[in-house]
């Protein structure tokens, strides 16, 4: 779920709001390291020279309100900068905020004035045109701290090398929101790190304004995102309400690299045509008491979505490694390794292709499945599903949560050159065809119980090897109809099949 505000009273405007009309006139000449001339593109302002305290003793909000302005580069020298009220600046042309070993220290939630945002740059109806923020640390290590530090709704941006240290435990919105409002523009967020996560709102003092129903999202992209946003080499860990969340926008998000871990609902959740996840590492190895559905990747909607070259490791599996939701028109999952550790409880499925979703391809996906449940579950729908050159291994049991490594309920699905090895207990099986008009071609299927079970009609299997470790028939036709060609089926077939050219060794 998105960060949904609880219905708490809205606080009044901050005590310094009127200062926004003062502008830069109050800034002394010593603040400018380079005075703008007719030919220069911006002014550089040293915020300490402008009067800001870099020892953490006094709030810098009054100075920020004075120095923020269009075509200004605000430089933060080394030090700590205490802030107890946020800054809002919209409709600008260009703005820079650049730190040098600089740490922003927010006030505790019960002392922060106004809505809990430090920097709100642009809105969806009055976006900034170009924004750069870099080399800053935001410190949440004190109790009852945590707020939205950066909210950027702009046409273009480069946000880089931002660290959030300490747990976000104020129960309000998560650390970052970025939207590219112009549909023809591109922005980038590089090397943002949130390793300490956030607390569930019910476990906080609930002093945040507004507080959110479940808990903060790490990095959110709102429905007003319309352009393209790169998210590269970021680290997000342990948030109650998604890690990176593209919450239903028309824009595109491209995730490249990075580590996303232990977030509830999903570690990466995307929605938008051609949204992509490349070379990312997703880990679930810490489930707190309320963390009961820590998906790896959730693809919510869009066309030509793509997951490639990712590593997904669920050491404490309690949610799908990848979920393809019904609003996905088309998606491809490629060259990705998934591992689920042993466990007593079912994980339902490692890869879930949900009912109603469109075309989905799994190509060269390796799944090491060691807890109960399906490795791949394909639910009904009109879209075409292709599973090609995939491998399923591991010691998963068939006793609960799904007897079959691959379960297919979608008519017309195709399975080419796959290898399934399932030696686990509980009558574990390799492939179950509940659907009609499916094709299974080449590859090998091995399991403890019957490797291949057929319930659908008009299905065709050709050039496979099927073998049971416990000497059950390699294929069982429970009902429906199946044609079998040029295959090697150990211990023969239980039930009637059509076809020819098969071998039935024992």
How many angstroms separate the CA atoms of 80 and 54, rounded?
5
Characterise 379 by phi-psi region: left (phi > 0), alpha (psi -120 to 50), beta (else): beta
The pTM assigned to this predicted structure is: 0.93
pLDDT of 33 over the 50 cut: no
**pLDDT cut 90: percent of the chain above it:** 88
Alpha-carbon gap, residue 487 to 66, rounded angstroms: 78
User: Which residue in the block uniquely carries the two structure tokens 């098969």?
Assistant: 502
Q: What digits encode the pLDDT tens for the residues 389-430?
A: 999 999 999 998 899 999 999 999 999 999 999 999 999 999
Tell me, what's the pLDDT at 2? 60
Helices (H), 352-503: none
pLDDT above 50 for 9: no
Pair 153, 92: CB distance under 8 Å: no
Max CA distance (Å), the chain: 92
Q: What band does 40 get if pLDDT is binned at 50, 70 and 90?
A: low
The residue to which tokens 């800054």 are assigned: 87
Q: What is the mean pLDDT of the chain?
A: 92
User: Per residue in 94-150, pLDDT tens?
Assistant: 999 999 999 999 999 999 998 899 999 999 999 999 999 999 999 999 999 999 999
pLDDT for the residue 41: 85
pLDDT given at position 249: 75
Average pLDDT over residues 147-166: 98
Tens of pLDDT, residue by residue over 259-293, are 999 999 999 999 999 999 999 999 999 998 899 99
Q: Which pLDDT score, from 0 to 100, does residue 346 have?
A: 87
Q: Report whether pLDDT(26) > 50.
A: no
**Residue partners of 9: CB distance under 8 A and separation at least 6:** none
Instruction: Confirm if 259 and 229 have CB atoms less than 8 A apart.
Output: no
**474 — pLDDT class (breaks 50, 70, 90):** very high
101: left (phi over 0), alpha (psi -120 to 50) or beta: left
Contact 373, 347 (CB under 8 A): yes
Contacts of residue 70, Cβ cutoff 8 Å, sequence gap at least 6: 92, 93, 94, 95
């Amino acid at each position: 779920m998105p960060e949904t505000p609880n219905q708490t009273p809205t606080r009044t405007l901050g005590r310094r709001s009127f200062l926004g009309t003062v502008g830069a006139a109050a800034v002394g000449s010593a603040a400018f390291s380079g005075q703008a001339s007719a030919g220069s593109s911006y002014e550089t302002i040293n915020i300490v020279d402008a009067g800001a305290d870099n020892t953490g003793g006094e709030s810098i909000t009054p100075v920020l309100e004075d120095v923020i302005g269009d075509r200004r580069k605000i430089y933060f020298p080394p030090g700590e900068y205490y802030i107890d009220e946020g800054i809002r600046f919209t409709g600008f042309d260009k703005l820079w905020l650049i730190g040098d070993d600089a740490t922003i220290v927010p006030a505790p939630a019960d002392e922060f004035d106004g809505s809990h945002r430090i920097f709100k740059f642009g809105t969806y109806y009055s976006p900034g045109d170009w924004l750069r923020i870099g080399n800053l640390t935001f410190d949440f290590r004190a109790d009852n701290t945590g707020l939205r530090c950066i909210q950027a709704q702009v046409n273009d941006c480069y946000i880089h090398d931002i660290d959030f240290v300490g747990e976000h435990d104020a129960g309000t919105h998560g650390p970052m929101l970025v939207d590219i409002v112009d549909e023809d523009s591109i922005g980038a967020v590089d090397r943002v790190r949130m390793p300490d996560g956030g607390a569930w709102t019910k476990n906080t003092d609930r002093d945040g304004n507004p507080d959110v129903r479940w808990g903060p999202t790490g990095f959110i992209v709102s429905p007003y995102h319309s352009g393209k946003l790169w998210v590269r080499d970021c680290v997000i860990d342990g948030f109650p309400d998604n890690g990176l969340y593209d919450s239903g926008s028309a824009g595109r998000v491209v995730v490249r690299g990075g580590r996303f871990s232990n977030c509830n609902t999903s570690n990466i959740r995307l929605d938008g045509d051609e949204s992509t996840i490349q070379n990312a590492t997703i880990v679930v190895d810490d489930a707190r008491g309320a963390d009961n559905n820590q998906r790896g990747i959730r693809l919510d909607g869009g066309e030509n979505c793509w997951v490639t070259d990712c590593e997904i490791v669920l050491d404490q599996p309690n949610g799908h490694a990848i979920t393809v939701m019904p609003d996905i028109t088309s998606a491809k999952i490629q060259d990705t390794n998934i591992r689920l550790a042993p466990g007593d409880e079912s994980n339902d499925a490692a890869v879930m292709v949900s009912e109603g979703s469109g075309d989905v391809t799994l190509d060269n996906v390796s799944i090491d499945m060691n807890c109960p449940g399906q490795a791949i579950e394909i639910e009904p729908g009109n879209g075409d599903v292709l599973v090609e050159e995939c491998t399923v291994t591991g010691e998963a049991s068939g006793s609960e949560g799904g007897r079959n490594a691959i379960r297919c309920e979608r008519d017309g699905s195709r399975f080419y050159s796959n290898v399934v090895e399932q030696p686990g207990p509980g009558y574990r099986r390799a492939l179950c065809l509940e659907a009609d008009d499916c094709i299974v071609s080449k590859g090998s299927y091995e399991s403890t119980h019957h490797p291949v079970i057929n319930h659908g009609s008009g299905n065709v299997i050709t050039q496979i090897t099927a073998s049971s470790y416990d000497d059950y028939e390699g294929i069982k036709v429970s009902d429906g109809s199946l044609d079998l060609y040029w295959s090697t089926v150990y211990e023969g077939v239980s039930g009637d099949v059509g076809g020819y050219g098969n071998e039935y060794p024992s």
